[in-house]
Amino acid sequence: MRYIFTFAVLVSLALLQGCAAVAIGSVAAGGYLIAEERRPPPVLAQDQDIEFNIANTIHGKFVGAHVNTTSYNRMVLLTGEVADEQVKADVEKVARSNKDVRGVYNEIKIAPITPLSERSNDTLITSKVKSRFVDAGKFNAIHVKVVTEAKTVYLMGLVNRKEADDATALARTTAGVQRVVRVFEIQEPKEAQVNQDKQ
């Protein structure tokens, strides 16, 4: 029963990428997911605020750009498409100017804006990857954040090396995935280090 509940919430999270407050509200209602979360509650709240504030600023300043903002443990991942390198750099400056942000991974592409059909497919890929995490049972799927943009899957989270490797292997072999980018914070028993390993 617990796994059915977990899967339902994970699918909801994938579909509500832009609605962090709604998703967290659902999680709080269940209790189980919050208890399993490795980020302290204040950091969870900060991540929501970071995403909301940066996204609002970007959408106000860069009309016509398609940029997604994901914050995990106050590390920000920027994905999407913009018209040129200057806009890409300016968007990153906006993200870095947020006082709560620890660092920024700028994965924005210089490319035409993706159509809605492709974004819907990306949402489906995210759901498939998360579902495979749950089905495999190799690690707690709550510990890995999945973001998909143009069939590239980005993996974020506070994980150990085995969890990172297992998540990467599962994501790589999911139907529709063309590329996997690891943006994990690797936590070993006596140390934690940031590991951005594109594969």
In order of their start, the domains of the chain are 2-36+115-198 (no CATH), 41-110 (3.30.1340)
- State the chain's mean pLDDT as an integer: 85
Number of helical (H) and strand (E) elements in the chain, helices listed first: 7, 8
pTM (2 decimals)? 0.79
Please count the other Cβ atoms lying within 10 Å of the Cβ belonging to residue 3: 11
User: Which residues contact residue 174 at a Cβ distance below 8 angstroms, ignoring those fewer than 6 apart?
Assistant: 125, 128, 129, 132, 153
Report the pLDDT averaged over residues 174-190: 92
Tens digits of per-residue pLDDT, 78-96? 999 999 999 999 999 999 9
Please count the other Cβ atoms lying within 10 Å of the Cβ belonging to residue 14: 22
Residue 33 to residue 25: CA distance in whole angstroms:
11
Banded pLDDT at 189 (limits 50, 70, 90): low
Residue 167 to residue 85: CA distance in whole angstroms:
31
